A and B are shown apart, each in its own frame.
Chain A
Amino acid sequence: MNAGGWIFMLISLGLVWGTTIWAYCRLLGAPPEKPDE
Protein backbone atom coordinates (compact mmCIF):
# COMPACT_ATOMS: atom_id res chain seq x y z
CA MET A 1 0.00 0.00 0.00
CA ASN A 2 1.37 3.41 -0.89
CA ALA A 3 1.35 6.62 1.19
CA GLY A 4 -1.80 7.89 -0.55
CA GLY A 5 -3.56 4.65 0.36
CA TRP A 6 -2.58 4.91 4.03
CA ILE A 7 -3.74 8.54 4.24
CA PHE A 8 -6.98 7.75 2.45
CA MET A 9 -7.67 4.73 4.65
CA LEU A 10 -6.92 6.45 7.95
CA ILE A 11 -9.01 9.53 7.12
CA SER A 12 -11.95 7.42 5.85
CA LEU A 13 -11.95 5.05 8.84
CA GLY A 14 -11.53 7.96 11.27
CA LEU A 15 -14.49 9.75 9.70
CA VAL A 16 -16.67 6.66 9.66
CA TRP A 17 -15.96 5.79 13.32
CA GLY A 18 -16.06 9.43 14.44
CA THR A 19 -19.39 10.30 12.83
CA THR A 20 -21.03 7.06 14.00
CA ILE A 21 -19.98 7.62 17.63
CA TRP A 22 -21.01 11.31 17.43
CA ALA A 23 -24.41 10.43 15.94
CA TYR A 24 -25.18 7.81 18.59
CA CYS A 25 -24.09 10.16 21.41
CA ARG A 26 -26.44 12.84 20.03
CA LEU A 27 -29.27 10.36 19.60
CA LEU A 28 -28.89 8.84 23.07
CA GLY A 29 -28.55 12.30 24.63
CA ALA A 30 -31.77 13.54 23.03
CA PRO A 31 -34.72 14.29 25.33
CA PRO A 32 -37.16 11.36 25.64
CA GLU A 33 -40.10 11.29 23.24
CA LYS A 34 -43.26 12.93 24.60
CA PRO A 35 -46.33 10.70 24.56
CA ASP A 36 -49.04 11.50 22.00
CA GLU A 37 -51.61 14.02 23.13
Chain B
Amino acid sequence: MIPYICALLFLALPIGWAEWAMARYGGEKGFHSGPAIMGMVGRGRIARYLGVLAILIPMVVYMYYVYIEAWCLRYAWEYLIGGVTLTGSIEEKVLGAAVFFGQTTGTDTNGVLNMSSVFWLIVVALNIVLVYRGLSGGIEKFCQFALPAMAILAVIVLIRVLTLGTPDPTHPDQNVLNGLGYLWNPDFSKLSDFDTWLAAAGQIFFSLSVGFGVILNYASYLKKKDDIALSGFTASATNELFEVGFGGLITITAAFVFLGASGVGGGFGLGFQTLPVVFEQMGAAGRWIGFAWFFLLFLAAITSSISMLQPVKAFFEEALGISSGQAIAWVSVICGFGSLWVIWFSKNMVALDVMDFWVGTFCIFLLATVQIICFGWVWGVKKGMAEIDQGALMRIPRVFVFIMKYVAPVYLLVVLGGFTYFNLGQKATEVSQNPVALWTVMIIAAVIALLVVLVAIGERRWRAAGMDLDGKRGEGD
Protein backbone atom coordinates (compact mmCIF):
# COMPACT_ATOMS: atom_id res chain seq x y z
CA MET B 1 0.00 0.00 0.00
CA ILE B 2 2.91 2.42 0.61
CA PRO B 3 4.05 2.46 -3.05
CA TYR B 4 0.40 2.72 -4.06
CA ILE B 5 -0.23 5.83 -1.94
CA CYS B 6 3.06 7.43 -3.08
CA ALA B 7 2.09 6.74 -6.70
CA LEU B 8 -1.31 8.34 -6.15
CA LEU B 9 0.03 11.55 -4.62
CA PHE B 10 3.23 12.06 -6.60
CA LEU B 11 2.29 10.52 -9.94
CA ALA B 12 -1.34 9.83 -10.73
CA LEU B 13 -2.85 13.06 -9.45
CA PRO B 14 -0.31 15.49 -11.00
CA ILE B 15 0.07 13.54 -14.25
CA GLY B 16 -3.72 13.31 -14.50
CA TRP B 17 -3.99 17.09 -14.27
CA ALA B 18 -1.18 17.48 -16.81
CA GLU B 19 -2.96 15.13 -19.20
CA TRP B 20 -6.27 16.99 -18.90
CA ALA B 21 -4.47 20.29 -19.57
CA MET B 22 -2.48 19.03 -22.58
CA ALA B 23 -5.60 17.47 -24.08
CA ARG B 24 -7.79 20.56 -23.72
CA TYR B 25 -5.01 22.69 -25.20
CA GLY B 26 -4.58 20.23 -28.10
CA GLY B 27 -8.32 20.16 -28.68
CA GLU B 28 -8.39 23.94 -29.05
CA LYS B 29 -5.83 23.56 -31.85
CA GLY B 30 -8.00 20.97 -33.59
CA PHE B 31 -6.30 17.75 -32.44
CA HIS B 32 -8.15 14.94 -30.67
CA SER B 33 -5.76 11.98 -30.76
CA GLY B 34 -2.83 11.08 -28.50
CA PRO B 35 0.01 11.20 -31.09
CA ALA B 36 -1.14 14.55 -32.51
CA ILE B 37 -1.55 16.16 -29.07
CA MET B 38 1.74 14.76 -27.78
CA GLY B 39 3.54 15.97 -30.92
CA MET B 40 2.15 19.46 -30.42
CA VAL B 41 2.86 19.70 -26.69
CA GLY B 42 6.19 17.86 -27.06
CA ARG B 43 7.07 20.13 -30.00
CA GLY B 44 8.02 17.62 -32.63
CA ARG B 45 8.29 14.23 -34.18
CA ILE B 46 9.82 12.29 -31.26
CA ALA B 47 6.96 13.11 -28.91
CA ARG B 48 4.45 12.47 -31.71
CA TYR B 49 5.76 8.95 -32.37
CA LEU B 50 6.04 8.21 -28.64
CA GLY B 51 2.39 9.28 -28.56
CA VAL B 52 1.65 6.05 -30.43
CA LEU B 53 1.55 4.54 -26.93
CA ALA B 54 -1.61 6.59 -26.28
CA ILE B 55 -3.36 4.53 -28.97
CA LEU B 56 -1.58 1.21 -28.41
CA ILE B 57 -2.61 1.08 -24.74
CA PRO B 58 -6.40 1.45 -25.12
CA MET B 59 -6.32 -0.77 -28.20
CA VAL B 60 -4.46 -3.71 -26.66
CA VAL B 61 -6.07 -3.39 -23.22
CA TYR B 62 -9.46 -3.48 -24.99
CA MET B 63 -8.47 -6.83 -26.54
CA TYR B 64 -8.43 -8.57 -23.16
CA TYR B 65 -10.73 -6.26 -21.26
CA VAL B 66 -13.78 -7.26 -23.33
CA TYR B 67 -13.12 -10.88 -22.45
CA ILE B 68 -13.15 -10.03 -18.73
CA GLU B 69 -16.33 -8.10 -19.42
CA ALA B 70 -17.78 -11.29 -20.90
CA TRP B 71 -16.90 -13.14 -17.68
CA CYS B 72 -18.93 -10.55 -15.72
CA LEU B 73 -21.91 -11.01 -18.02
CA ARG B 74 -21.61 -14.80 -17.86
CA TYR B 75 -21.42 -14.76 -14.04
CA ALA B 76 -24.46 -12.45 -13.87
CA TRP B 77 -26.36 -14.80 -16.20
CA GLU B 78 -25.39 -17.88 -14.19
CA TYR B 79 -26.54 -16.23 -10.97
CA LEU B 80 -29.82 -15.24 -12.63
CA ILE B 81 -30.61 -18.81 -13.73
CA GLY B 82 -29.28 -20.32 -10.50
CA GLY B 83 -26.29 -21.89 -12.19
CA VAL B 84 -23.75 -21.12 -9.44
CA THR B 85 -24.17 -23.73 -6.71
CA LEU B 86 -21.38 -24.20 -4.20
CA THR B 87 -21.97 -26.89 -1.61
CA GLY B 88 -20.10 -28.72 1.14
CA SER B 89 -17.41 -27.41 3.46
CA ILE B 90 -15.69 -24.06 2.98
CA GLU B 91 -12.78 -25.85 1.32
CA GLU B 92 -15.13 -27.60 -1.11
CA LYS B 93 -16.93 -24.32 -1.88
CA VAL B 94 -13.60 -22.59 -2.61
CA LEU B 95 -12.66 -25.49 -4.89
CA GLY B 96 -16.07 -25.35 -6.57
CA ALA B 97 -15.67 -21.61 -7.23
CA ALA B 98 -12.21 -22.23 -8.74
CA VAL B 99 -13.55 -25.01 -11.00
CA PHE B 100 -16.43 -22.77 -12.12
CA PHE B 101 -13.97 -19.97 -12.86
CA GLY B 102 -11.77 -22.35 -14.88
CA GLN B 103 -14.75 -23.55 -16.93
CA THR B 104 -15.99 -20.01 -17.50
CA THR B 105 -12.69 -18.56 -18.61
CA GLY B 106 -11.11 -21.61 -20.25
CA THR B 107 -7.95 -21.41 -18.15
CA ASP B 108 -7.56 -25.20 -18.25
CA THR B 109 -6.80 -25.57 -21.93
CA ASN B 110 -5.97 -23.65 -25.10
CA GLY B 111 -7.93 -23.61 -28.32
CA VAL B 112 -11.40 -24.04 -26.91
CA LEU B 113 -13.98 -21.44 -27.73
CA ASN B 114 -15.85 -22.02 -24.48
CA MET B 115 -19.33 -20.95 -23.51
CA SER B 116 -18.07 -17.47 -22.56
CA SER B 117 -17.31 -16.84 -26.23
CA VAL B 118 -21.04 -16.38 -26.77
CA PHE B 119 -21.03 -13.72 -24.07
CA TRP B 120 -17.88 -12.26 -25.64
CA LEU B 121 -19.71 -11.88 -28.96
CA ILE B 122 -22.60 -10.10 -27.23
CA VAL B 123 -20.17 -7.79 -25.42
CA VAL B 124 -18.17 -6.96 -28.57
CA ALA B 125 -21.35 -6.26 -30.56
CA LEU B 126 -22.65 -4.02 -27.76
CA ASN B 127 -19.39 -2.08 -27.64
CA ILE B 128 -19.39 -1.48 -31.39
CA VAL B 129 -23.02 -0.35 -31.44
CA LEU B 130 -22.60 1.95 -28.45
CA VAL B 131 -19.44 3.59 -29.82
CA TYR B 132 -21.03 3.97 -33.25
CA ARG B 133 -24.12 5.66 -31.86
CA GLY B 134 -22.11 7.86 -29.50
CA LEU B 135 -23.64 7.91 -26.08
CA SER B 136 -22.03 10.42 -23.78
CA GLY B 137 -25.48 11.37 -22.48
CA GLY B 138 -26.33 7.72 -21.93
CA ILE B 139 -23.16 7.08 -19.93
CA GLU B 140 -23.93 10.11 -17.74
CA LYS B 141 -27.48 8.92 -17.04
CA PHE B 142 -26.25 5.39 -16.40
CA CYS B 143 -23.61 6.60 -13.91
CA GLN B 144 -26.17 8.64 -11.98
CA PHE B 145 -28.01 5.43 -11.22
CA ALA B 146 -25.25 2.84 -11.26
CA LEU B 147 -22.70 4.55 -9.01
CA PRO B 148 -25.00 4.81 -5.97
CA ALA B 149 -26.37 1.31 -6.67
CA MET B 150 -22.85 -0.11 -6.83
CA ALA B 151 -21.91 1.74 -3.61
CA ILE B 152 -24.93 0.32 -1.73
CA LEU B 153 -24.16 -3.18 -2.96
CA ALA B 154 -20.49 -2.76 -2.04
CA VAL B 155 -21.42 -1.70 1.51
CA ILE B 156 -23.62 -4.81 1.88
CA VAL B 157 -20.89 -7.13 0.57
CA LEU B 158 -18.22 -5.35 2.64
CA ILE B 159 -20.23 -5.82 5.84
CA ARG B 160 -20.60 -9.52 5.04
CA VAL B 161 -16.87 -9.90 4.38
CA LEU B 162 -15.91 -8.07 7.58
CA THR B 163 -18.23 -10.32 9.60
CA LEU B 164 -16.94 -13.60 8.11
CA GLY B 165 -14.78 -14.22 11.20
CA THR B 166 -12.97 -17.53 10.78
CA PRO B 167 -15.23 -19.42 8.36
CA ASP B 168 -12.98 -22.46 8.08
CA PRO B 169 -12.03 -23.78 11.56
CA THR B 170 -9.40 -26.05 9.99
CA HIS B 171 -7.48 -22.90 8.99
CA PRO B 172 -7.71 -20.66 12.08
CA ASP B 173 -5.08 -18.25 10.68
CA GLN B 174 -7.32 -17.43 7.74
CA ASN B 175 -9.53 -14.92 9.51
CA VAL B 176 -10.75 -11.40 8.76
CA LEU B 177 -8.27 -9.61 11.04
CA ASN B 178 -5.32 -11.37 9.46
CA GLY B 179 -6.79 -10.58 6.03
CA LEU B 180 -6.93 -6.89 6.89
CA GLY B 181 -3.40 -7.17 8.26
CA TYR B 182 -2.24 -8.70 4.97
CA LEU B 183 -3.61 -5.65 3.18
CA TRP B 184 -2.64 -2.89 5.61
CA ASN B 185 0.36 -3.94 7.73
CA PRO B 186 3.32 -1.93 6.38
CA ASP B 187 5.86 -4.34 4.86
CA PHE B 188 9.06 -2.35 4.45
CA SER B 189 10.97 -5.31 2.98
CA LYS B 190 8.95 -5.01 -0.25
CA LEU B 191 9.99 -1.39 -0.73
CA SER B 192 13.35 -2.36 -2.22
CA ASP B 193 11.68 -4.27 -5.08
CA PHE B 194 11.26 -2.11 -8.19
CA ASP B 195 8.68 -4.54 -9.51
CA THR B 196 6.40 -3.60 -6.57
CA TRP B 197 6.75 0.13 -7.30
CA LEU B 198 6.09 -0.44 -11.00
CA ALA B 199 3.05 -2.62 -10.28
CA ALA B 200 1.63 -0.10 -7.77
CA ALA B 201 2.01 2.81 -10.19
CA GLY B 202 0.70 0.68 -13.08
CA GLN B 203 -2.35 -0.29 -11.04
CA ILE B 204 -3.24 3.28 -10.13
CA PHE B 205 -2.55 4.61 -13.63
CA PHE B 206 -4.76 1.84 -15.04
CA SER B 207 -7.68 2.45 -12.72
CA LEU B 208 -7.54 6.24 -13.10
CA SER B 209 -6.91 5.96 -16.87
CA VAL B 210 -3.86 8.17 -16.39
CA GLY B 211 -1.07 7.56 -18.92
CA PHE B 212 -3.64 5.51 -20.80
CA GLY B 213 -4.47 7.74 -23.76
CA VAL B 214 -8.13 7.99 -22.84
CA ILE B 215 -8.03 11.38 -21.05
CA LEU B 216 -5.97 12.78 -23.96
CA ASN B 217 -8.90 12.15 -26.24
CA TYR B 218 -11.88 12.91 -23.99
CA ALA B 219 -10.50 16.14 -22.49
CA SER B 220 -9.65 17.42 -25.97
CA TYR B 221 -13.36 18.15 -26.49
CA LEU B 222 -13.54 20.43 -23.41
CA LYS B 223 -13.83 24.18 -23.73
CA LYS B 224 -11.51 26.79 -22.25
CA LYS B 225 -14.02 27.74 -19.57
CA ASP B 226 -14.57 24.12 -18.46
CA ASP B 227 -13.08 23.10 -15.15
CA ILE B 228 -10.40 20.41 -15.26
CA ALA B 229 -8.79 20.87 -11.82
CA LEU B 230 -11.71 19.91 -9.57
CA SER B 231 -13.17 17.46 -12.10
CA GLY B 232 -9.86 15.60 -12.32
CA PHE B 233 -9.53 15.57 -8.56
CA THR B 234 -13.11 14.35 -8.02
CA ALA B 235 -12.65 11.56 -10.55
CA SER B 236 -9.49 10.43 -8.76
CA ALA B 237 -11.07 10.64 -5.29
CA THR B 238 -14.16 8.69 -6.35
CA ASN B 239 -12.05 6.02 -7.98
CA GLU B 240 -9.92 5.68 -4.86
CA LEU B 241 -13.03 5.40 -2.70
CA PHE B 242 -14.22 2.45 -4.78
CA GLU B 243 -10.82 0.87 -5.23
CA VAL B 244 -9.38 1.25 -1.72
CA GLY B 245 -12.53 1.76 0.37
CA PHE B 246 -14.55 -1.02 -1.23
CA GLY B 247 -12.78 -3.12 -3.88
CA GLY B 248 -9.50 -3.78 -2.05
CA LEU B 249 -11.14 -4.25 1.33
CA ILE B 250 -13.67 -6.72 -0.05
CA THR B 251 -11.59 -8.72 -2.51
CA ILE B 252 -8.25 -8.99 -0.74
CA THR B 253 -9.76 -9.66 2.69
CA ALA B 254 -12.12 -12.30 1.27
CA ALA B 255 -9.33 -13.85 -0.80
CA PHE B 256 -7.10 -14.13 2.27
CA VAL B 257 -9.90 -15.64 4.35
CA PHE B 258 -10.78 -18.28 1.75
CA LEU B 259 -7.51 -18.88 -0.12
CA GLY B 260 -4.84 -17.93 2.42
CA ALA B 261 -1.83 -15.67 1.89
CA SER B 262 -0.50 -17.78 -0.99
CA GLY B 263 -3.76 -17.45 -2.91
CA VAL B 264 -4.08 -13.66 -2.70
CA GLY B 265 -1.70 -12.99 -5.59
CA GLY B 266 -4.12 -14.61 -8.02
CA GLY B 267 -4.40 -11.61 -10.33
CA PHE B 268 -7.47 -11.24 -12.50
CA GLY B 269 -9.35 -14.22 -11.18
CA LEU B 270 -9.29 -13.17 -7.54
CA GLY B 271 -12.70 -11.50 -7.32
CA PHE B 272 -14.29 -14.11 -9.59
CA GLN B 273 -12.99 -16.97 -7.45
CA THR B 274 -13.63 -15.59 -3.97
CA LEU B 275 -16.78 -13.49 -4.20
CA PRO B 276 -19.03 -16.45 -5.14
CA VAL B 277 -17.99 -18.04 -1.83
CA VAL B 278 -18.88 -14.79 -0.02
CA PHE B 279 -22.28 -14.71 -1.75
CA GLU B 280 -22.79 -18.34 -0.78
CA GLN B 281 -22.28 -17.31 2.85
CA MET B 282 -25.20 -14.86 2.51
CA GLY B 283 -27.89 -17.52 2.29
CA ALA B 284 -30.76 -17.25 -0.20
CA ALA B 285 -30.14 -13.53 -0.81
CA GLY B 286 -26.62 -14.37 -2.03
CA ARG B 287 -27.87 -15.48 -5.43
CA TRP B 288 -29.57 -12.14 -6.14
CA ILE B 289 -26.75 -10.09 -4.66
CA GLY B 290 -24.37 -12.11 -6.84
CA PHE B 291 -26.47 -11.37 -9.92
CA ALA B 292 -26.73 -7.63 -9.12
CA TRP B 293 -23.00 -7.42 -8.32
CA PHE B 294 -21.76 -9.02 -11.52
CA PHE B 295 -24.36 -7.29 -13.70
CA LEU B 296 -23.43 -3.85 -12.35
CA LEU B 297 -19.78 -4.78 -12.73
CA PHE B 298 -20.50 -5.68 -16.36
CA LEU B 299 -22.26 -2.35 -16.97
CA ALA B 300 -19.40 -0.45 -15.32
CA ALA B 301 -16.89 -2.43 -17.41
CA ILE B 302 -18.71 -1.67 -20.66
CA THR B 303 -18.43 2.08 -20.01
CA SER B 304 -14.67 1.53 -19.63
CA SER B 305 -14.29 -0.49 -22.81
CA ILE B 306 -16.28 2.08 -24.79
CA SER B 307 -13.92 4.73 -23.45
CA MET B 308 -11.01 2.63 -24.77
CA LEU B 309 -12.45 2.32 -28.28
CA GLN B 310 -13.27 6.02 -28.55
CA PRO B 311 -9.65 7.39 -28.64
CA VAL B 312 -8.58 4.68 -31.10
CA LYS B 313 -11.53 5.50 -33.34
CA ALA B 314 -10.74 9.22 -33.12
CA PHE B 315 -7.11 8.54 -34.09
CA PHE B 316 -8.07 6.48 -37.16
CA GLU B 317 -10.45 9.23 -38.25
CA GLU B 318 -7.90 11.98 -37.66
CA ALA B 319 -4.93 10.19 -39.22
CA LEU B 320 -6.64 8.70 -42.27
CA GLY B 321 -9.40 11.26 -42.79
CA ILE B 322 -12.05 8.53 -42.86
CA SER B 323 -15.59 8.54 -41.51
CA SER B 324 -16.55 7.48 -38.02
CA GLY B 325 -18.21 4.32 -39.34
CA GLN B 326 -15.12 3.31 -41.35
CA ALA B 327 -12.88 3.97 -38.36
CA ILE B 328 -15.03 1.79 -36.11
CA ALA B 329 -14.97 -0.99 -38.72
CA TRP B 330 -11.16 -0.95 -38.89
CA VAL B 331 -10.72 -0.78 -35.12
CA SER B 332 -13.29 -3.53 -34.53
CA VAL B 333 -11.59 -5.91 -36.95
CA ILE B 334 -8.08 -5.36 -35.51
CA CYS B 335 -9.20 -5.48 -31.89
CA GLY B 336 -11.48 -8.44 -32.65
CA PHE B 337 -8.53 -10.51 -33.91
CA GLY B 338 -6.45 -9.55 -30.87
CA SER B 339 -9.28 -10.44 -28.56
CA LEU B 340 -9.80 -13.82 -30.27
CA TRP B 341 -6.11 -14.52 -29.71
CA VAL B 342 -6.61 -13.96 -25.97
CA ILE B 343 -9.63 -16.25 -25.89
CA TRP B 344 -7.99 -18.98 -27.93
CA PHE B 345 -4.79 -19.01 -25.84
CA SER B 346 -6.63 -18.91 -22.55
CA LYS B 347 -4.65 -21.64 -20.79
CA ASN B 348 -3.28 -20.14 -17.57
CA MET B 349 -4.21 -16.75 -19.10
CA VAL B 350 -0.76 -16.48 -20.69
CA ALA B 351 -1.78 -14.21 -23.58
CA LEU B 352 -3.90 -12.05 -21.29
CA ASP B 353 -1.15 -11.73 -18.68
CA VAL B 354 1.49 -10.80 -21.27
CA MET B 355 -0.72 -8.05 -22.72
CA ASP B 356 -1.64 -6.87 -19.26
CA PHE B 357 1.95 -6.61 -18.06
CA TRP B 358 3.71 -5.26 -21.14
CA VAL B 359 0.96 -2.91 -22.28
CA GLY B 360 -1.39 -2.54 -19.29
CA THR B 361 1.46 -1.82 -16.87
CA PHE B 362 4.82 -1.20 -18.58
CA CYS B 363 3.61 0.91 -21.54
CA ILE B 364 1.27 2.93 -19.30
CA PHE B 365 4.24 3.69 -17.08
CA LEU B 366 6.26 4.65 -20.16
CA LEU B 367 3.55 6.94 -21.56
CA ALA B 368 3.09 8.64 -18.18
CA THR B 369 6.85 9.34 -18.17
CA VAL B 370 6.74 10.80 -21.68
CA GLN B 371 3.71 12.91 -20.80
CA ILE B 372 5.08 14.46 -17.64
CA ILE B 373 8.44 15.22 -19.28
CA CYS B 374 6.67 16.90 -22.21
CA PHE B 375 4.42 18.82 -19.80
CA GLY B 376 7.07 19.91 -17.33
CA TRP B 377 10.14 20.34 -19.51
CA VAL B 378 9.09 20.90 -23.13
CA TRP B 379 5.75 22.68 -22.94
CA GLY B 380 6.72 24.30 -19.64
CA VAL B 381 5.20 23.76 -16.24
CA LYS B 382 4.18 27.43 -15.86
CA LYS B 383 2.30 27.40 -19.12
CA GLY B 384 0.76 24.07 -18.18
CA MET B 385 -0.40 25.32 -14.78
CA ALA B 386 -1.90 28.42 -16.41
CA GLU B 387 -3.86 26.09 -18.69
CA ILE B 388 -5.10 24.06 -15.68
CA ASP B 389 -6.14 27.26 -13.87
CA GLN B 390 -8.39 28.33 -16.78
CA GLY B 391 -11.98 27.79 -15.63
CA ALA B 392 -10.78 25.92 -12.53
CA LEU B 393 -13.20 25.43 -9.64
CA MET B 394 -10.30 24.79 -7.24
CA ARG B 395 -6.80 26.17 -6.99
CA ILE B 396 -4.23 23.42 -7.20
CA PRO B 397 -1.66 23.76 -4.36
CA ARG B 398 1.52 25.23 -5.84
CA VAL B 399 3.60 22.43 -4.39
CA PHE B 400 2.35 20.45 -7.38
CA VAL B 401 4.36 22.74 -9.67
CA PHE B 402 7.48 21.33 -8.03
CA ILE B 403 6.08 17.80 -8.05
CA MET B 404 5.20 17.99 -11.76
CA LYS B 405 8.55 19.45 -12.76
CA TYR B 406 10.93 17.44 -10.59
CA VAL B 407 9.40 14.80 -8.32
CA ALA B 408 7.18 12.93 -10.81
CA PRO B 409 9.77 12.65 -13.65
CA VAL B 410 12.56 11.61 -11.26
CA TYR B 411 10.25 9.13 -9.49
CA LEU B 412 9.23 7.57 -12.84
CA LEU B 413 12.74 7.48 -14.28
CA VAL B 414 14.22 5.92 -11.12
CA VAL B 415 11.57 3.18 -11.00
CA LEU B 416 11.85 2.61 -14.74
CA GLY B 417 15.65 2.46 -14.55
CA GLY B 418 15.59 0.18 -11.50
CA PHE B 419 13.03 -2.12 -13.08
CA THR B 420 14.99 -2.27 -16.34
CA TYR B 421 18.22 -3.08 -14.53
CA PHE B 422 16.93 -5.58 -11.97
CA ASN B 423 13.74 -7.14 -13.39
CA LEU B 424 13.53 -6.64 -17.15
CA GLY B 425 15.91 -9.49 -17.99
CA GLN B 426 13.88 -11.98 -16.00
CA LYS B 427 10.61 -10.77 -17.54
CA ALA B 428 12.08 -11.04 -21.03
CA THR B 429 13.32 -14.57 -20.29
CA GLU B 430 9.84 -15.58 -19.16
CA VAL B 431 8.45 -14.37 -22.46
CA SER B 432 11.12 -16.03 -24.59
CA GLN B 433 10.54 -19.42 -22.92
CA ASN B 434 6.84 -19.55 -23.73
CA PRO B 435 5.79 -19.61 -27.42
CA VAL B 436 2.34 -18.15 -26.71
CA ALA B 437 3.88 -15.30 -24.73
CA LEU B 438 6.42 -14.71 -27.49
CA TRP B 439 3.73 -14.58 -30.19
CA THR B 440 1.64 -12.27 -28.05
CA VAL B 441 4.58 -9.87 -27.86
CA MET B 442 4.91 -10.15 -31.67
CA ILE B 443 1.24 -9.18 -32.03
CA ILE B 444 1.82 -6.15 -29.82
CA ALA B 445 4.85 -5.24 -31.96
CA ALA B 446 2.74 -5.59 -35.13
CA VAL B 447 0.12 -3.22 -33.70
CA ILE B 448 2.89 -0.72 -32.86
CA ALA B 449 4.21 -0.95 -36.43
CA LEU B 450 0.73 -0.33 -37.85
CA LEU B 451 0.20 2.68 -35.59
CA VAL B 452 3.59 4.16 -36.55
CA VAL B 453 2.59 3.95 -40.23
CA LEU B 454 -0.73 5.63 -39.44
CA VAL B 455 1.02 8.45 -37.59
CA ALA B 456 3.28 8.96 -40.60
CA ILE B 457 0.21 9.18 -42.87
CA GLY B 458 -1.53 11.51 -40.42
CA GLU B 459 1.56 13.69 -40.14
CA ARG B 460 1.45 14.35 -43.91
CA ARG B 461 -2.26 15.12 -43.82
CA TRP B 462 -1.99 17.50 -40.86
CA ARG B 463 0.96 19.30 -42.39
CA ALA B 464 -0.81 19.62 -45.73
CA ALA B 465 -3.83 21.06 -43.93
CA GLY B 466 -1.60 23.73 -42.38
CA MET B 467 -2.16 22.58 -38.82
CA ASP B 468 0.22 23.53 -36.01
CA LEU B 469 1.35 19.94 -35.46
CA ASP B 470 4.70 20.82 -33.84
CA GLY B 471 3.18 23.41 -31.48
CA LYS B 472 5.52 26.12 -32.77
CA ARG B 473 2.86 28.76 -33.24
CA GLY B 474 1.85 28.77 -29.59
CA GLU B 475 5.29 29.88 -28.36
CA GLY B 476 4.37 33.53 -28.23
CA ASP B 477 1.23 32.86 -26.15
Segment from B49-57, B131-139, B236-244 that makes contact with A = B236-244
Tell me whether A16 and B181 are in contact in the complex, defined as CB-CB below 8 angstroms, given that A4-B186, A26-B230 are known contacts: no
Chain B stretch 200-249: residues in CB contact (< 8 A) with chain A: 223, 225, 227, 230-231, 233-234, 237-238, 240-241, 244-245
CA distance A15 to B238 in the complex (A): 12
- Nearest chain B CB to A13 CB, angstrom units: 6
Please tell me the size bucket of the interface on B: 20 to 34
Q: Which of A4, A8, A20 contacts B240 (CB 8 A)?
A: A20
Tell me whether A24 and B184 are in contact in the complex, defined as CB-CB below 8 angstroms, given that A1-B178, A30-B393 are known contacts: no
- Nearest chain B CB to A34 CB, angstrom units: 8
Q: Is the CB of B184 within 8 A of A9?
A: yes
- Nearest chain A CB to B254 CB, angstrom units: 16
Chain A stretch 8-31: residues in CB contact (< 8 A) with chain B: 8-9, 12-13, 16-17, 19-20, 22-24, 26-27, 30
B177 at the interface (CB under 8 A from A): yes
Query: Inside 8 A of B233's CB, which chain A residues have their CB?
Result: 19, 23
Q: Is the CB of A13 within 8 A of B244?
A: yes
- Nearest chain B CB to A31 CB, angstrom units: 9
Give the dominant DSSP class at B's interface. helix
- Nearest chain A CB to B335 CB, angstrom units: 33
Q: Which of B180, B234, B237 contacts A9 (CB 8 A)?
A: B180
Query: Inside 8 A of B163's CB, which chain A residues have their CB?
Result: none
The chain B residue with its CB closest to the CB of A19 is B237
Q: Is the CB of B231 within 8 A of A1?
A: no
Q: Is the CB of B1 within 8 A of A12?
A: yes
Query: Inside 8 A of B244's CB, which chain A residues have their CB?
Result: 12-13, 16
CA distance A24 to B144 in the complex (A): 13
Q: Is the CB of A26 within 8 A of B237?
A: no
Q: Is the CB of B181 within 8 A of A26?
A: no
Q: Is the CB of A5 within 8 A of B184?
A: yes
CA distance A24 to B186 in the complex (A): 30
CA distance A24 to B201 in the complex (A): 25
Q: Which of B177, B184, B230 contacts A30 (CB 8 A)?
A: B230
Query: Inside 8 A of A16's CB, which chain B residues have their CB?
Result: 237, 240-241, 244-245
Q: Is the CB of A5 within 8 A of B186?
A: yes
Chain B stretch 385-432: residues in CB contact (< 8 A) with chain A: 393-394
The residue in B5, B178, B184, B186 that gathers the most chain A C-beta atoms within 10 A of its C-beta is B184
Q: Which of A1, A27, A34, A36 contacts B180 (CB 8 A)?
A: A1
Query: Inside 8 A of B394's CB, which chain A residues have their CB?
Result: 26
Query: Inside 8 A of A23's CB, which chain B residues have their CB?
Result: 230, 233-234, 237-238
Query: Inside 8 A of B227's CB, which chain A residues have their CB?
Result: 30
CA distance A12 to B237 in the complex (A): 12
B185 at the interface (CB under 8 A from A): yes
Q: Which of A1, A24, A34 contacts B185 (CB 8 A)?
A: A1
Q: Which of B180, B234, B240 contacts A5 (CB 8 A)?
A: B180
CA distance A36 to B303 in the complex (A): 28
Chain B stretch 225-284: residues in CB contact (< 8 A) with chain A: 225, 227, 230-231, 233-234, 237-238, 240-241, 244-245
The chain A residue with its CB closest to the CB of B2 is A8
Q: Is the CB of A2 within 8 A of B234?
A: no
CA distance A26 to B231 in the complex (A): 10
- Nearest chain A CB to B159 CB, angstrom units: 15
Query: Inside 8 A of A34's CB, which chain B residues have their CB?
Result: 225
Binding site for B on A (CB under 8 A): 1-2, 4-6, 8-9, 12-13, 16-17, 19-20, 22-24, 26-27, 30, 34, 36
Binding site for A on B (CB under 8 A): 1, 5, 177-178, 180-181, 183-186, 223, 225, 227, 230-231, 233-234, 237-238, 240-241, 244-245, 393-394
Apart from A20-B237, A27-B231, what 4 extra A-B contacts exist at CB < 8 Å? A6-B184, A12-B5, A19-B233, A20-B238
Report, nearest first, the 6 A-B pairs whose CB atoms are least far apart.
A1-B181, A5-B185, A5-B184, A23-B234, A9-B184, A20-B237
